[in-house]
Amino acid sequence: MSNNCGREKEKLIMYQAFDKMQRHFPMSAGDGAYSYSRNSQLQREVLDGAKEMVRDAIIEKLDIKSLLSASINTFRIIDLGCSIGPNTFSAMQHIIEAVKDKCHYQFSADSSNIIPEFQVFFNDHVNNDFNTLFRSLPVDRSYFAVGVPGSFHGRLFPSGSIHFAHSSCAIHWLSKLPEMLLDEKSPAWNKGLIHYVDAANTAVVNAYVAQFDKDMEIFLSARAEEIVPGGMMVLVSPFSGYRYLKFFGSSLMDLVNEGMLDESLVDAFNVPVYFPSPEDMTKVVEKNGCFSIERIELTYPQSKLVDEADAKSLMTNLRAVLEGVFINHFGSKIADEAFSRTILKSEDISAWMKANYEKPCQLFVVLKRK
């Protein structure tokens, strides 16, 4: 481990005191009409758009021989921010099939014992709906499944125990809202808005960037301890699409104008997500110093929801993702009213989507542990 990696241990210790300040907002639980398990098509599109790139990274960059031996024949995979399915199961099986193919490439084709056993760790916050997740585990899975509750903004596994880490549609979630956004006297006070995307104030954007940098510093330090040398990490994150958050913000302001909600509550509310650019990610990885960047780029996958301006499905998907954040701040009654009103605006939102079409875009990153 390099000196830079060694210093990361001190940062992890410092973060433990900060960890208690984190806020955990899992996806909508269960299998009801607005649950994540029934409304995660958008996230499935992100996964599908990255599948071949994940396979290519494993085939071209992952050295199975160096990771496994006669005494270590279990390949361990983690999915960070797995939520409650079904997308995580598809992603994990795809990774396993690619690793199996790489084994055949690296070892003699007539060997019957070249395929390792697989152990998959499904990780998410402690209040994630693990019951629904494990009730829906595929019966024909080719791996041993384990649940790991806890924030990925910190250590989760013993040192040198993981061979492959995966995270899709998760790393853009901040560990907490930037403190500057909570101070009415701060230059980053985001009055009337609920996210940085539409903010004209650069101080708002800078506050989000600073929190993302801090979170990723801890995230990478933790993974550097857990992933074996030569192990791989694949991160996939949306880069566009959350400009639709403003429609939820407009519904909140409708409630303000009708006297159903205090405007100060809206002013004090911001969604804790930041969508990193390749430059953002390159900066934090290079600062960490424990990973080599094997691939980093913006990709442009197809999206039925966006391309067809299916606003109702898109808003319902976003509700499944954001409902916990809204309920925590406004309570369930106001949150339900805001989401219901936004979905009722689907025709207007669809028209706006068509007039302001923006091709879906996502960040794809492949890192290798030095």
Please list the residues that pair with 235 across neighbouring strands: 167, 365
Q: Does 19 score more than 60 pLDDT?
A: no
Residue 2 has pLDDT above 60, yes or no: no
In DSSP terms, 146 is beta-bridged to 121
For 35-72, write each residue's pLDDT tens digit.
677 777 888 898 999 999 999 999 999 999 889 876 67
pLDDT at residue 68 in the model:
84
What pLDDT, on a 0 to 100 scale, did the predictor assign at position 18?
43
* DSSP H or E stretch at residue 124: strand 117-124
pLDDT of residue 200: 77
Q: Among 71, 58, 11, which residue's Cα sits nearest to residue 215?
A: 11
Q: What percent of the chain has pLDDT over 90?
A: 73
Beta strand extents in 87-183 (DSSP E only) = 117-124, 144-149, 162-168
Q: Where are the domains of the chain?
A: 28-369
Q: Compute CA distances 1 → 15, 159, 204, 218, whole Å.
A: 20, 12, 36, 16
The pTM of the full predicted model, rounded to 2 decimals, is 0.92
> Environment class of residue 113 by beta-carbon count within 10 Å: exposed (0-12), middle (13-18) or buried (19+)?
exposed
d(CA 338, CA 349): 15
pLDDT, tens digit, 9 for 90 and up, residues 233-281: 999 998 876 788 999 999 999 999 999 999 999 999 999 999 999 999 9
Question: Taking the domain 28-369, which CATH number applies?
Answer: 3.40.50.150
Question: 3-state class of 28 per DSSP?
Answer: coil
The pLDDT of 127-136, averaged and rounded, is 92
d(C-alpha 34, C-alpha 133), whole Å: 16
pLDDT of residue 197: 84
Tell me the per-residue pLDDT of 326-362, one tens digit each, with 9 for 90 and over: 999 999 999 999 999 999 999 999 999 999 998 889 9
